[in-house]
Amino acid sequence: MIFILFMIQDDLVYMENEQLLGEYVQTDVGKILVGPNGSARGREWIFGQFDASVLPACMLMFDKSDIKATSQGDPVMVARTISKKVNAYNANGYKEELNGILFGRWDGDYVDGVAPSAWTGSLPILEQYLDTNGECVKYGQCWVFAGAVGTICRALGLPTRVVTNIVSAHDTNVSLSINHYYDENMQELPDLPKGYGGWQAVDGTPQEESNGVYRCGPASVEAIK
C-alpha cells in the first residue's frame, strides 16, 4: 500500500523551514501540559507517528468516516474529520459511537478499560483501534485525545503542536450567533480577512456542534487571539 502525505511543496500545509519541520512533523516524543490552573505540569507523550500501525489506523478512521476520497487531500476536511473521529461521540446527545477512536470518561470508573492517566503514548491506542477493526478504545481524557490527534496529524504530514487550554469560557446559554457580512453590491465577504492563515486550532474533544457533528476547527489561531 502506498500512502501519499501532506509533504509536497504545493500543499497548503507545506512547511519549508527544516527546523520547524523537524519539531512539528518529525519529532515523535514530546510533552503535554496536564492539570488545573496554577498546578499544571508537563507529561511526556510518545507520539510514535512512524510506527507501522499508525497510517493503517488513520486509513481505517477515514474509512469509517463520511469524508470522501476526493477530499482526503484537503487539509481542512482532513482536520475536521480528525476532530470528529478521534473522539467516540456523535451529535445525538453524546451517545457512544463504536467507530470513533477514543471514549472519554472522567468519573474514575475504568474497570473495563484503561485509566486515562495510564496512557503514555498514542501507539497502544491506535494499535487497539486497528486490531479491533475500529472499536473505540476506553478510556481517554483531554490530553489523551490531544496526543492521539498529534500523532495522526504528524503521521499524515500535517505540522502539529499540542497546546493545552487551561482556563476558558464556555457558552452555556447558547447565545452564540453566526454572522454574514456583505459589501455594497451584496456580495458576501469572507469570514476572515487576509493574514489569518498560519497555525490553525483543532480540538480533539469538541464541546459544540459544527454542521450537526461534534467537531471543532480548523480555526485561525491569530483570529482567536
Between the alpha carbon of residue 220 and those of residues 102, 156, 185, 208, the distances in Å are 26, 20, 27, 17
Which residue has 519539531 as its cell numbers? 23
pTM: 0.86
- CA Rg, the chain, in Å? 18
Q: How confident is the model at residue 211 (pLDDT cuts 50, 70, 90)?
A: confident
What is the tens place of the pLDDT at every residue in 126-168? 999 999 999 999 999 999 999 999 999 999 999 999 998 887 7
- Taking residues 7-33, what's their average pLDDT? 92
Count of CB atoms within 10 A of residue 180's CB? 7
Pick the CATH number of 18-166 from 3.40.109.10, 3.90.260.10, 1.10.10.10, 3.30.1330.60: 3.90.260.10
Domain ranges of the chain: 18-166
What is the tens place of the pLDDT at every residue in 157-172? 999 999 988 877 666 5
What backbone torsions phi and psi does residue 182 show, to the nearest 5 degrees? Answer: -130, 150
